[in-house]
Structure 1
Amino acid sequence: MERNNLYPIFLKAKSLNVLIVGGGNVAEEKLTFLLKSSPDACVTMVSPMFREGTLSLAKTGNVTLIEKKYNKKYLKGKHIVVATTDVPKVNVKVYKHCRKRSILVNVADNPPYCDFYMGGIVTKGNVKVAISTNGKSPTTAKRLRQFFENVIPENVDDLVKNLNEYRKTIKGDFEEKVETLNEFTKGLIEKKES
């Protein structure tokens, strides 16, 4: 059986500079999901044209639109790049430019040219679950996201906040605190005998 060896991390997009190359449907979709997950993300988009939806969406966040063709000068100061153009040659050029500069890059729908994938995401307050299919099936990730949206209770954030307050009152070193919290929360996952 194949194994997913991707390393999941949660990035503070507010402190990173993101570039989206392209202005079509895929670019708008990437911007939508980025702003939904991280409304304070700092995003630049470069494309000769932008969809109306992208123009509207850009006004809701910290998004700079540059109506020009891609040029490697737009990579300056960027931490993450997503290439979404409908010209494969341009996307590969973006990938190569990013690799030379050690910038993480994702070429939409082209796994060999991706340092990372954007998985399905479920957010309920402070709880965020990310789902990956190793770039093999975005549709499966979407269905799993829908499943988790339904099974994670709406009040899960109350639990998180209460446990955070409880954690502050626990005495002892780090290991003792972890042990106490593990004992306190194990009932959340234990199966009830019928």
Structure 2
Amino acid sequence: MTGKFPEVQGGGSLILAWQVRNKKVLVIGGGEVAAGRILNLLNADAKVTVISPRDGLNDEVAYRIDQKQVEYFDKRFEPSDLDDPRITLVLTAIDDPEASTQIWKLCKERRLAANIADVPPECDFYFGSVHRDGPLQIMVSTNGNGPKMANIVRRRIAASLPPNIGNAISKVGELRKKLRVVAPGNEEGPKRMRWMSNVCVQWSLEDLCDMNEDDMARLLQYYAPDRVPSLDNIRLDEDPDEWQFDGSYGWACVV
């Protein structure tokens, strides 16, 4: 940053958390790469359809099919397979570059977002290396330049994270849902965001992990006066009207 605003760095991708829950995604191919793609899609609750001759199936893909986790067609791809209007994404993972390019062109004609494995110029989006811990997902992308390097960087990041961070995030998610019941109005939005932010900053990961349903109910009583007590204060069962936050982290004074 050389001035008031950050400089533009071209050549990147717009990294998004694409919501494909209950949406139909077509996977063409059944090998090792397809297996990884399918698992990513199932983890995102997509409705996966696989097209591949059975003699080309990877053991994991065959398992997904046998367990009815995906819809399966034992055949080679045909252009008419793209005619289903419910298809949201198309992923190819086949060893035929010419056929892959043809599928890419067909997808462009139908305005379907597609990923052609190992051919960056024929991809509307890339798959990065993902670390998953409950609700936490961290993706590292090299924009098609070095998939192995993305994996190395992702492992290093994951190794630096606290082992309980996924559980802490789950508890924060539960608290946010309860807060929306306590303060449902749109006009409460800024206050809800500020208050939740204060909880995340002032409580340790260990406190968030240890928080139970009773603690959440008690903590939510402090939302109206816009205060954030420590977990110890909550468990002392003090009256929110008699408690004031003094601006420090995890300390309170009773007046």
TM-score, length basis structure 2: 0.64
1:44 aligns with 2:49: yes
Extract unaligned runs of 5+ from structure 2: 1-7, 205-255
Query: Residue 148 of structure 1: SS of its match in structure 2?
Result: helix
Alignment of 1:40-189 (within 5 A): 40-48=45-53, 49-53=55-59, 54-60=61-67, 62-75=69-82, 76=84, 77-167=86-176, 168-169=178-179, 173-186=188-201
One-letter amino acid of the structure 1 residue matched with residue 49 of structure 2 = T
Is 1:18–1:79's contact at 8 Å kept on the other side of the alignment? Answer: yes
- Larger Rg belongs to: 2
Comparing 162-171 and 135-144, the one that deviates more: 162-171
* Percent of pairs with identical residues: 25
SS in 2 for 1:15: coil
- Displacement of 1:113 in angstroms is 0.3
Residues 88 and 112, structure 2, Cα contact 8 Å, conserved in 1? yes
The answer (yes or no) to whether the contact 2:92–2:116 under 8 Å persists in 1 is yes
| Aligned residue pair count | 186
Greater RCO (Cα-Cα under 8 Å, separation 6 or more): 1
CA distance in 1, matches of 2:90, 2:22: 14
In structure 1, what is the Cα distance between the partners aligned to 2:41 and 2:79?
Answer: 22
Q: Counterpart of 1:51 in structure 2: which amino acid? A: L
CA distance in 1, matches of 2:67, 2:153: 28
TM value normalised by structure 1: 0.82
The residue number in structure 1 matching 2:250 is none
